[in-house]
Amino acid sequence: MVLFWPIQQQLDCISSSGRILGKIGFDIQKDDYIFVPEDVSLSLTGEEQAKIDERLAGLRSGLYLIPMQDDD
């Protein structure tokens, strides 16, 4: 299981054990959502990678949204 928690127009990806896997955000240069691992040496399980891929596909299709934060 992977939890997706919105933080500053990004989603923290958190494993079921509480480990932060990385962040999903929108890359303006690529005009696409991307996953950036918390640690480059991080090794994701197959289930974690599948959940992140599913969330990325859902964001790209409009099924999911990242809530925007208003700091006013």
CB 25 within 8 A of CB 36: yes
- Is residue 9 assigned to a domain? yes
- Is residue 47 assigned to a domain? yes
User: How far apart, in Å, are the Cα atoms of 69 and each of 10, 14, 28, 62?
Assistant: 10, 20, 17, 18
Return the ∠ at Cα 70 (arms to 20 and 19), rounded to 5°. Answer: 5
Predicted confidence (pLDDT) per residue in 12-51, tens digit: 999 999 999 999 999 989 999 999 999 988 899 999 999 9
Reported as a pLDDT band with limits 50, 70 and 90, residue 66 is confident
- Is residue 22 assigned to a domain? yes
* Antiparallel, parallel or unpaired: β 2-7 and 10-15: antiparallel
| Range list of H helices, 1-72 | 46-61
Reported as a pLDDT band with limits 50, 70 and 90, residue 56 is very high
- Is residue 40 assigned to a domain? yes
Q: Which domain holds residue 20?
A: 2-61
- Helix or strand run (H / E) with residue 25: strand 20-27
